[in-house]
Structure 1
């Protein structure tokens, strides 16, 4: 049980050799921390024995508190109220019986609400976190949510800022992704239990679905760093699925287990200096050797996420004539030789390892062809849906983080004699943020459900246009929320670190979501063109 102290107890520890402070009614012993304090000893000594909450929050964010709380907190004030457990629903729903075939109850029976979870700031989490009913989520999703959130809050969130500044996430975090079974669950397919010894603690492989996959990405995104998410999920999440789905069995069995274990890294290499969204005009060339046993690859790729660390490159190459019918996809292994990578400095996602890749006479065995020769465009296009949904999940959570941070700050900050939240103009900003977040998220849930219930070919045909539209919707929502949160925080969101640190970091990441995976303008046009074409096949009447 935690110790309790009176204000007088704390006040007596007001010297350099015994220095206690109060932050949000918790008591910290900073005596041995003085030499480590970035602001120097004097500022701590001026606050010795006092409540330092106001000064702390002026310069720091909650990540700093989480980082040091375990080693420096010695107790709480005896006046601090113990947080009450979440209030259960007033009338728990009756246990559902399986509806009989043809029964109308299959439609009318309501889903049970799960227990409320999190801080319960309205719209800061999906509605099903907050006691609302959902047809998509059950106890396994709630258990996974808790598992991932605990990991993120203890192992990741306190260190994100320093990793961002270092432009690298420690390798052991990526290794943990493998050991915790998360990498194997992020491929957009049934959990590949035969390819890895690792398992997700809270969800058996046979129960894993696309909503579990969505949850892993969503909860990791709460750390508020696109660079972190791309470091852990970026190259893997778009580079590994084509290998698993289209690679020869011997190739998959040789390479994928090491990737899923977190020991090897893979990336997707499509974009070139002169060809981004215009995939059909890629020029990186792969010529078959006279004996038909190898491809010789020459060309360049640009803005390749995780490329500097990658052991494998899922690469779009030209094996035939011009246009989409001349493209193939090869798995290029760094050890083949002739692969050069150079780290790029970009506006945002600093720790993602954005890379310029050069292939010079790389000799690739024909066994490394993914899919069929000159039919790589289909592989690339089917992979885009998975990539874009990942971007959507991240953007919507980042938008929620911006909104949640703004709501909490607006309840603390006072201007013109009252809290920010008491100004109608601030509530209007928050309302506009919330309406865009919720509409985007509900569209996402629907798309995930469709992907779950359709085979991949049907999903590519029917959902490509909708997913493209949702990608544009989510990136514009993220940008809007980042801007409005920045306005609410004012100057605090313009300096790195501190209370507005998450907003400043996410604002830098906005462009990294609006452009890659298909820029907003191209996505919006594609959404209309493809949807109209598909619905014409369905018998659309005009």
Structure 2
């Protein structure tokens, strides 16, 4: 046995480890690393007897460990400290993930990121942004996401500040004039070359965190609430609001949905009436299911006005009250019920034409649904990767789970769904890069409606299959199947937000029917 002073560099033979197999003197081997769990044994959630089993105590427990625990457990400081050395002449097989690393699991990445495959859509700047942003997500966003998803607290201000520093908030609104003069992600992509594929990368990389509530809490309200200000606000209003939001000093949300009206904009009951001098709006009413509403400083509000429907930017202040709504996912999303009680708002905060607010709202629906589609598809791929890992390490009846034909059949369906959805998404995204905003509205509203419907429906199929593959672990909030349980519990959010599946499917058909040639016959 080596005698280096640093215990983590000590080496042991398997025979030496096997001598430590009793209560109070208990060692085990996991992936060539030796752990002294003598003091920890009584604290083990599974009980002491499990550790004293003859296949565990003093033995190589690698297979047993990875049948019950995720690798991340070994990386936690409390457990990492239990390591006292390594096995002589042996090296770990299962390595800790490296921030920014590309997965080598088949279908764990979209084809364009998979070694040996090609794509006509992605350039070097796309790959550079993906590499830099994934590292940022792994190192900065992921740990905050796991903590906040559990605690229900909104994202940490330190994360917001780092995102602002790299102009991530600005990039999440897609290509446009708002990026001019900014240094994007430390310069890996220039503002003038930033396109919808770059934005797609940001959306898909964020979704890898496996924390759906936090994902929406990661300023999703900004993505849908700020564009009306950016595109329809006065220059003075934009000079004030946009730097605050991009800089992470204030948050913004979109407040359209109501308890009575839901997605029926024509049925909104929130009102805005002008004061006698015509200088202010007085806003009254309620909004419900508003993402980021609990911590927003600005609210992009849809109001019924005398001549129709008007969108107004309301700043948090007297008469504005927000209350959290408990939903299936974490309150980290900041989902809120909002009350406006005689809120006085300057008329300069009107976004777009008075009484023509429907144009303001519809202008961003395609982009909003496209973003949700990006997220839904990449989240499905994360589940595919989880399942691929699990079926290869889980043994049943003395054989890997993947040896079961029914399991392979489920995997085949999951892979086919996510690959087809990603291919469709990339095609639609390419069309977006070639079309003006007006052309996108005319030609892609139906396509985007269809692909969102398809993505969220296939997501629910994949969620159901994944639970069956993981069994009891797939309905347990901790341990091996925790990401599967979370995904299955929260997957329906995407099927409702931005338009329910049936509504979007009908939208696509109606748009297609409008384009039917009059001379078309069987």
TM-score between the two structures when normalised by the length of structure 1 = 0.84
- Is residue 2:126 matched to residue 1:120? no
Q: Does the 8 Å contact 1:57/1:498 carry over to 2?
A: no
Distance 1:81 1:279, change over 3 A: same
Corresponding residue number in structure 2 for 1:236: 222
Q: Deviations over 1:48-89 (max 9, x none)?
A: 7654434544554344445549964677544226799xxxxx
Moved more, 519-528 or 8-17: 8-17
Q: What residue number does 1:39 align with?
A: 45
* Matched position secondary structure for 1:192: helix
Deviation at 1:6, TM superposition (A): 4.2
CA distance in 2, matches of 1:296, 1:277: 23
**3-state SS, counterpart of residue 226 of structure 2:** helix
Moved more, 298-307 or 280-289: 280-289
**What are the equivalent positions in structure 2 for 1:71-470 lying under 5 Å apart?**
72=81, 77=87, 78-80=89-91, 118-130=102-114, 131-158=116-143, 160-168=145-153, 169-190=155-176, 192-193=178-179, 199-321=185-307, 326-335=308-317, 337-470=318-451
Question: By how many angstroms is 1:517 displaced?
Answer: 0.8
Q: Secondary structure at the match of 2:293?
A: coil
Shift of 1:442: 0.9
SS of alignment partner, residue 206 of structure 2:
helix
Residue by residue, what CA displacement relative to the aligned partner does 1:405-453 show, whole Å, maximum 9, x if unpaired?
Answer: 1111101112233211111111110011111111111111111111111
Structure 1 residues 63 and 314: alpha-carbon distance in aligned structure 2, compared to 1, 3 A threshold: farther
Q: Is the 8 A contact 1:61 1:501 kept in 2?
A: no
Contact preservation (8 Å) 2:25, 2:38: yes
- Taking the aligned partners of 2:361 and 2:27, their CA distance within structure 1 comes to 59
Tell me the distance in 1 between the aligned counterparts of 2:264 and 2:322. Answer: 23
Moved more, 184-193 or 63-72: 63-72
Match of 2:62 among 40, 53, 58: 53
**Residue 464 (structure 2) aligned to one of 483, 493, 496:** 483
- How many residue pairs end up in the alignment? 503
Say if 1:181 and 1:24 are closer, same or farther in 2 by CA, change over 3 A: farther
Corresponding residue number in structure 1 for 2:475: 494
Match of 2:520 in 1: 541
CA shift for structure 1 position 137: 0.8
Is the contact made by 1:468 and 1:526 (CA closer than 8 Å) also made in structure 2? Answer: yes
Alpha-carbon contact 2:302-2:312 (below 8 Å) kept: yes
- Check conservation: 1:199, 1:205, Cα contact below 8 A: no
Mapped partners of 2:31, 2:324: distance in 1: 42
Deviates more, 1:68-77 or 1:220-229: 68-77
CA RMSD of aligned residues (A): 3.1
Q: Where does structure 2 lack aligned partners over 5 or more consecutive residues?
A: 1-7
Normalising by the residue count of structure 2, what TM-score does the alignment of the two structures yield? 0.87
- Partner in structure 1 of residue 30 of structure 2: 23
Rate the CA distance shift 1:81–1:497 in 2: closer, same or farther, 3 A: closer
Could you list the runs of 5+ residues in structure 1 that have no partner in the other structure?
85-115
SS across alignment from 1:222: helix
Instruction: Report the equivalent of 2:5.
Output: none
Tell me by how many angstroms 1:191 deviates: 6.4
SS in 2 for 1:295: strand
State how far apart, in whole Å, the 2-side matches of 1:317 and 1:178 are. 31
Summarize the Cα distance change of 1:36–1:312 in structure 2 as closer, same or farther, 3 Å threshold.
Answer: farther
**More moved, 68-77 vs 428-437:** 68-77
Q: CA deviation at 1:350?
A: 4.0
CA separation in 2, counterparts of 1:350 and 1:272? 19
Deviation at 1:481, TM superposition (A): 0.7
Q: Distance in 1 between matches of 2:201 and 2:502?
A: 28
